[in-house]
Amino acid sequence: MRYITPRKAAQGLGSARAGTAHHWNITMSSYALIVLTPLFLIAVGGAIGLPQDQVVAHFGRPFPGIITALFIIVGMIHFIKGSQGGAIADYVHGTAQQLTMVAIAIFGWGVIAAAVFALAKMAFTLPAI
Amino acid sequence: MADVNRGNRPLSPHLQVYRLPLPAITSILTRITGHALSAGILLLVWWLVAAVTSPGAFATADWVLRSWLGFLIMTASTWALWFHALSGVRHLFYDNGMGLEIEDAKRASWGIIIGSVALTVLSLIIFFIG
């Protein structure tokens, strides 16, 4: 027997069972991304067109490396949550919805893992002097 | 009588003939740009991973990134990023109860459209000069 009242069990959850957490996540990451977006464009824009060794050296420096990693991590988490709780929740339903949400999580975290791996390898690459 | 007022009532707007208002278009474009940015980030991260893989892998990724298709994807992604960012800022104002009047929403929509194009042009200028 459950001693918890029905009201207590439902309180703060809302119809989505996640309360305001989703909205809060998107809002907080969007504030971060407003700052990160111009910095990211500067960091990446300065590297496109360079030869390979200079690309590695570019992202091996603290500012481009940290900004690019932060933007991709925060941006992809913002994308995963925004897509799953937004368009997918609205337009895809049932088993297809669950599979789409899994696919989005795999894509998003895959992009994060690949980017962090590449940036870490660049950061730990010693310049060939 | 059931059909006393037939023919005189306002018709429900059918989706296929309903001209979407500008704030609706910019709202839908926020989701579209958010999802379309997948292409840009995929290309960029492929290029980053290729740079630490091998000279051959980097040559392929760099060739694609700097081809006309790569330039198109990167330019479109830059615009999508600015559009999504400006539209996201509008949502932060919406969340605080600001800009919800129809005329304000229309003005903000034009601001987002013009602003995103201007910032994309500015980004390209800085990219090609700097």
User: Between A19 and B122, where is the model more confident?
Assistant: B122
Domain assignment present for B14: no
Domain assignment present for B107: yes
Contact B34, A83 (CB under 8 A): yes
Contact B31 A87 (CB under 8 A): yes
Contacts of B119 (CB under 8 A, 6+ apart): B82, B86
Domain assignment present for A15: no
Q: pLDDT-based confidence at B86, cuts 50/70/90? A: very high
Mutation choice for A interface testing from B38, B45, B71, B122 by most A CBs within 10 A: B45
Contact B130 A46 (CB under 8 A): yes
How far are the Cα atoms of B26, B48, B49, B108 from residue A53, in angstroms, in the given order? Answer: 41, 12, 13, 44
Domain assignment present for B81: yes
Domain assignment present for B2: no
Domain assignment present for B4: no
Which structural domain, as residue segments, surrounds residue A106?
21-123
A65: nearest CA partner in chain B: B48
pLDDT of residue B15: 63
pLDDT of residue B5: 63
pLDDT tens sequence across B7-51: 666 666 666 677 889 999 999 999 999 999 999 999 999 999 999
User: Between A20 and B64, where is the model more confident?
Assistant: B64
Which structural domain, as residue segments, surrounds residue B75?
22-129
pLDDT tens sequence across B42-63: 999 999 999 999 999 999 999 9
Contact B66 A49 (CB under 8 A): yes
B63: nearest CA partner in chain A: A49
List the single residue in B52, B58, B74 with the smallest CB-CB distance to A121: B52
Annotated binding-site positions of B for heme: 84
Contact B70, B104 (CB under 8 A): no
Helix spans in chain A (H): 6-10, 21-45, 52-60, 62-83, 89-91, 94-123
Cα(B32)–Cα(B98) distance, rounded to whole angstroms?
A: 24
Domain assignment present for A10: no
Helix H or strand E segment including B3:
none
Domain assignment present for B5: no
Domains: count for chain A: 1
pLDDT of residue A20: 80
List the single residue in A37, A107, A115 with the smallest CB-CB distance to B48: A115
Domain assignment present for A46: yes
A91 touches chain B (CB under 8 A): no
Domains: count for chain B: 1
Q: In 10 A of CB B71, how many CB atoms?
A: 13
* CA nearest neighbour of B79 among B129, B39, B118: B118
Domain assignment present for A40: yes
Domain assignment present for A1: no
Helix H or strand E segment including B113:
helix B102-129
Contact B41 A45 (CB under 8 A): no
Per-residue pLDDT of chain A in tens (129 residues, 90 and over written 9): 778 888 888 787 777 677 688 889 999 999 999 999 999 999 999 999 999 999 999 999 999 999 999 999 999 999 999 999 889 988 999 999 999 999 999 999 999 999 999 999 999 987 655
Q: pLDDT-based confidence at B3, cuts 50/70/90? A: low
Domain assignment present for A37: yes
Q: Could you tell me the CATH number of the domain that includes residue B99?
A: 1.20.1300.10
Domain assignment present for A108: yes
Domain assignment present for A4: no
* CA nearest neighbour of B77 among B126, B110, B114, B32: B32
Contact A116, A69 (CB under 8 A): yes
Domain assignment present for B121: yes
